[in-house]
Structure 1
Amino acid sequence: MKFNAIAISALAGVAAASPVDTRQNGGGDGPFGPGTYKTEGSLQQHTIYMPSKTTGSTKMPVLVWGNGGCSADGRSNVQLLQQIASYGYLAISSGGPGQQGSTTAKMMTDSIDWAVANAGKGDYANVDATKIMAAGFSCGGVEAMAQIWDSRVATIGVISSGLLDNQTAATHFNKPVLFVLGGESDIAYANGERDYKNLPANTPSWKGNINVGHGGTLNDQNGGKFGKAILNWAQYVLHADDKGKAYLTDGYKADGWAVETHAFDQLKPQA
């Protein structure tokens, strides 16, 4: 199953998270923070987020990210991505810092290709490209769903998003899927709900709704409550982290999430 590029571009006009004034000293409250960003000549038109402290023996999974509105500004969701990086992740956003224009699903695939090619080398010696999550906001979420057919991707994150073209494709999704939605006022709410309901019964998934609208808290400090759900999903699925699991099974209640799950007890996290 593939997604039509025309359909992906349809969300380019949907409200994207506003760019945030970024400090190069970074952000995030993780043990390897602050998370900072940089660019690489070998990966043009992308922004790379990394922890500023060494992760020691802890290997770094990879998050590839698509921005709201398919924005090519790789800092569009800087608060979230610096937070993820501060917990020991390599996060790659499609688009360069402050870049104009739009992204494509192929740019996310390029991120995956680059991470696989560079893991274990130089500055990326501690990167584990066997643990990759593809996620994105709004139009970027559609780009992320296009990666579910890639054997190198372990899990997908759908943030205020849902399929536009081939709307029954979720019936074939067979990898763990995270849905983070902003309640009924979220313009992508109906599509996200439909896609969650269309998942096979045995596909592990977690869907959280909170009434904060499209994009919710992504631009709050550390990504706010959206950021907590995304981080804890990544921590559990890619690190088998008990704290991540605890948040997804019970801790979310303190943040006011309305949660549904499919086959969550069948999820087999990567150790």
Structure 2
Amino acid sequence: MTSFKVAPLRKSLIPGLALQTQGRGITSNKREVYKVSLSVNKGVLSVEDLLDGDQVEGQGRSNLTISSSNLTQLNDLLSRVTYTSTIYHIKTKDLVYFNFEDHKAIFPIIIRRPSIPVLYDPGKDINSQVTIITKTFLRYKELNVLIQSIRKFYPKIKIIIADDSLKPEHVSGNNIEHYIMPPAQGKMARDMSDKDILKMELEQLQKEVKNTREPVSKTAKEICEWVEAQAAEDPLIKGVPEDKNPFKEKGGCIIT
């Protein structure tokens, strides 16, 4: 049996669990007793829907023993064995030890949360799905040109500015966040604004980029493609490496 996945702290049925005795010279599925034991380290085992007379020891513990004189009945009990991890971890492993007489088998259980919960409202429109961030150093004239060109078509999109100028100037406007950084820190200022984003689409723009054409679509993906097209000739702009994109769904991004 290969590994299977379970969610942490959640009861899950172990699929395909059964005892096969072919080739042992047994002509009937009845014998004195079949006895199977299972054990785990990071969870507990149990058999669902037990009936009176079912021979199960260790219900709800890390060591479980199932006995029966009938192989069919034994396999029916094995088909209802469940595993529940007792330690919360979003990505770990456990091993199941299966023993019958002198025979042993080991198979892994992958304990993994199916998906990390989204702890913020992702929104449904461009304004809640796209954030534009930029870094400035002294060139406030170019910064204001960038802001005005964005506001011409998207007056409500959030703009985040990381400013490491030696003498910062005041930057105001609707839905603009202006962060004053230690002077002349360059990349650190840009990284700070990058880490402030909790959205599926991100645009990082150099101040020299000016948006001059209205996009043909209002979707988050296509606005990113539109901004990329506007900045395609700027030698300072390059694509975001895939290994640095933390989102499960790919989105258009620019990083400078």
TM-score normalised by length of structure 1: 0.25
- More helix by percentage: 1
- More strand by percentage: 2
Structure number with greater Rg is 2
